[in-house]
Amino acid sequence: MYTTPFLLGAGQAFPPLPFTTGAFDRLLTANFYGLLRPDERAVFLAEARPISGELIVVDLRSDSDVHEEKRELRTVGSARYSIFRRRFTPQSLRRELGDEVLYEGR
């Protein structure tokens, strides 16, 4: 099994965000949310939603009409590691976040 050297111990809970409730009008996350496993997503959403009035998620769209979740092997230089990656459909992201989809992609 390959591990990401700088993410060892990522299974631990994220540290609390250092912002007060309602600190931001909007919070944007890009190419991040799809890398989170279910328990990590729950922690992220529990921390992110209270600090902002709106959460904007930009992430990979599935090339088909099927939501995908899998481990992918990456190679950077001589380092090889696997990552957890999800590719959303507009419907699967809407179901998960309970909000509207502003742009469904191509």
pLDDT of residue 3: 38
Helical (H) or strand (E) element with 71: strand 68-76
C-alpha span between 14 and 12 (Å, rounded): 6
- Between 106 and 47, residue with greater pLDDT: 47
Prediction pTM value: 0.72
Query: In DSSP terms, which residues pair with 28 in a beta bridge?
Result: 56
pLDDT of residue 80: 94
- What percent of the chain is predicted at pLDDT more than 70? 86
- C-beta of residue 37 within 8 angstroms of C-beta of residue 13: no
